[in-house]
Amino acid sequence: MHETILIYDFGSQYTQLIARRIREMNVFCEILPWSKWGEPVEAKGIILSGSPFSVREPQSPQPNLALLKGKMPILGICYGAQLLAHQFGGEVSASNTREYGRAMFAPSSEVDLLRGISKSTQVWMSHGDSISRLPNNAVCIGSTEDVVNAAYRFRDEATFGVQFHPEVYHSLEGMQLLKNFVLGVCGCSGDWTPGAFIEEQVAALRAKIGSDKVIMGLSGGVDSSVAAMLLHRAIGDQLHCIFVDNGLLRKNEYQQVLESYQHMGLNIKGVDASEKFYQALSGLTDPEAKRKAIGRVFIEVFDEESSAVEQARWLGQGTIYPDVIESISATGGPSQTIKSHHNVGGLPDFMKLSVVEPLRSLFKDEVRRIGAALEMDANLLGRHPFPGPGLGIRILGEVTAEKVRLLQEADAIFIGHLRKEGLYDSVWQAGVILLPVQSVGVMGDERTYENAVALRAVTSTDGMTADWCHLPYDFLAEVSNRIINQVRGINRVTYDISSKPPATIEWE
């Protein structure tokens, strides 16, 4: 067993960032819902997350912290810090104004948690309550101009609280504080590496699957490819890979994907089910309805294909953590659903396969590191993410074969030029969106009334947050000109400069 840090989730939007920061230290961590508090644990330390609740609200999460406090190191962040103070004799009061944004933090005590932190450093606040009085056996170890008890510790035990969020980018020395806690206070050595993950996953998959066979859906993307290679290493020929042409792929992608997987030694079968997907999408305009239709047909196709493979008991999927987070409350806590993903949430009762998801706990950048350790092709690992529903969620409104054709042509021009100009690797994800808008144009002396598209290109590390790419104007002008001149049916090109949040990377 690896050294583990447990993060108890109270519903904060930043909980997953805490996990990312800890994994960057090569330390394994697990997020648990706050309702699991008090169950037997084996961990080197505990972190209590923030929350949209106030500890003063009757309906707020209130696990009995006394069950574990003092028995192992604990760090409370924001709500977690307030909860520790609230339950052990301190007082939490409503702030005069909601404290959100940058603040300058000044340590006032030499303690292990703050070792190496500057005398004045920027931190990020996001709270409506403040700790107005500490418990009798706690002492303040740092303040900001507006928050006296911005950091504190309990005497004679390794229990700490910080009002700010050290996990976010805007807390400039937040990573140092988290390292002080995880590597220093908790004594973790940082032994959770890609090699260790592969070794453990392979052993776990062998034990779980036994002599059964696995049906694995491949898309040509990083996630499903790495998941397939992990399964292949674990069970070899017991893995039967299927690549479904849902009619929503990029131009010429079906044949290219099949050829690439054959070179990887995978046993793969191509299935052209495009007409089934088009029929299921006919007349649908609502984004969630389209996603669910695509997911339903995806499952139906796999159910049909699995019946041809004797002893097929499992469906392998390349689900990763951001998919889970956006689709459901990944921890059973009070987090909010953003949108559904076709490969998240289990299978219908009629399907005879159980799901195996080797990458479910990993972020995108971690998946790429695992792939590199598996010695997979760098071009495949560097490929931009592509949504499971494909172009179906890049066509706003009803999906038709003609709309798919238009979008494939425009997308091929955009992605091709990113590669040609050496910009592809500096972009995390890119694509073209077909808008449900016709606009007036003029070509030669003729009036046109054709479709408009939006180019989308973002930078990110894990898909949880993203910023729009500042692509050169000359590049955008060239792409726009080529799309309008070469794709009959499109006469207007726009560029999306929205970031996530508040927008999402995909439009649907």
Half-sphere exposure of 305 (CA within 13 A, CB side): 24
3-state secondary structure of 81: helix
* 165 annotated active-site: yes
Q: What is the pLDDT along the chain (508 residues), one digit of tens a residue?
A: 679 999 999 988 788 889 989 999 999 988 888 999 988 888 999 999 999 899 999 999 999 999 999 999 999 999 999 999 999 999 999 876 556 788 999 999 889 999 999 999 999 988 788 899 999 999 999 999 889 999 999 999 999 999 999 998 889 999 999 999 999 999 999 988 899 889 989 999 999 999 999 988 888 889 999 999 999 999 999 999 988 899 999 999 888 888 888 788 888 999 999 999 999 999 999 999 999 999 899 888 877 887 888 888 888 888 887 676 554 443 444 444 434 444 444 555 556 678 899 998 788 888 999 999 999 988 888 888 888 899 999 999 999 999 999 999 999 999 999 999 999 999 999 999 999 998 888 766 567 788 999 999 999 876 767 899 999 999 999 999 999 999 999 999 999 999 988 888 999 8
| Per-residue model confidence (pLDDT) at position 295 | 87
Residue 326 has what pLDDT?
A: 53
Q: How many CB atoms are located within 10 Å of the residue 233 CB?
A: 16
User: Which three-class secondary structure state does DSSP give residue 235?
Assistant: helix
User: Rounded CA gap, 242 and 318, in Å?
Assistant: 13
CA–CA dist 122, 132 (Å, integer):
22
Q: Give me the catalytic one of 165, 232, 240, 417.
A: 165
| Catalytic residue (choose from 167, 253, 326, 450) | 167
Q: Is 110 a catalytic residue?
A: no
d(CA 97, CA 410): 49
User: What's the confidence (pLDDT) of residue 251?
Assistant: 94
Take residue 88 and report the two structure tokens written for it: 């052990």
Distances from the Cα of 100 to the Cαs of 34, 49, 83, 163, 169, in angstroms?
24, 17, 19, 11, 14
Using alpha carbons only, how large is the chain's radius of gyration in Å?
25
Q: Catalytic residue among 3, 29, 78, 342, which?
A: 78
Measured N-to-C along each axis, helices 287-306 and 274-281 cross at an angle, to the nearest 10 degrees, of: 150
- Cα(402)–Cα(447) distance, integer angstroms: 22
Determine the Cα–Cα distance for residues 250 and 468; give it in Å rounded to an integer.
Answer: 22
pLDDT at position 337, please?
42
Cis preceding-peptide flag for 501 (omega within 30 of 0): yes
194-209 vs 364-373: helix crossing angle, rounded to 10: 90
Nearest-angstrom CA–CA distance, 241 and 417: 32
Residue 476 CA to residue 272 CA, distance in Å, equals: 34
Contact 151, 111 (CB under 8 A): no
- Are the C-beta atoms of 35 and 11 separated by less than 8 Å? no
Please give the pLDDT value at position 419: 96
For residue 334, the model assigns a pLDDT of 44
Residue 361 near residue 321, CB atoms below 8 Å: yes
**Structure tokens, 361:** 């706990």
Residue 240 to residue 309: CA distance in whole angstroms: 8
Is position 57 annotated as part of the catalytic site? no
Q: Where do the H-state alpha helices sit in 253-336?
A: 253-262, 274-281, 287-306, 321-327
